[in-house]
Amino acid sequence: MEVTEHGVKVGGIRHKSPVDSWHGEWAPGPDPERRDYASLADFAGPDGNTWVLQEIGFRHPQGAADAQPLP
């Protein structure tokens, strides 16, 4: 992640489980199906504000049609 290359500490990636309901819990790691807006991570800026990152537009690299999502 580019922000970590600049010394920003980003929290662990998590996803909503179940993703299609507001009821439930957070599960560690990216959404197994890599759906848009389902995987989140957060970090705090130098002024103490908390920011949330959401994954959108995930596409497997070219030639990796059979690739599995990362754990």
Closest residue by Cα to residue 11 from 69, 51, 71:
51
The verdict on whether omega for the bond into residue 30 sits within 30 degrees of 0, i.e. cis, is no
CA 36 to CA 9: how far, in whole Å? 23
Least confident of 9-13, 42-46, 63-67: 63-67
Band (58; pLDDT cuts 50, 70, 90): confident
Mean pLDDT of all residues belonging to the chain: 82
Q: How many CA atoms lie within 13 A of 61 on its CB side?
A: 3
- Whether the pLDDT of residue 22 is over 60: the answer is yes
Rounded to two decimals, what is the model's pTM?
0.66
- Whether the pLDDT of residue 30 is over 90: the answer is yes
CA 64 to CA 71: how far, in whole Å? 16
DSSP type of residue 4: G
- Whether the pLDDT of residue 66 is over 60: the answer is no
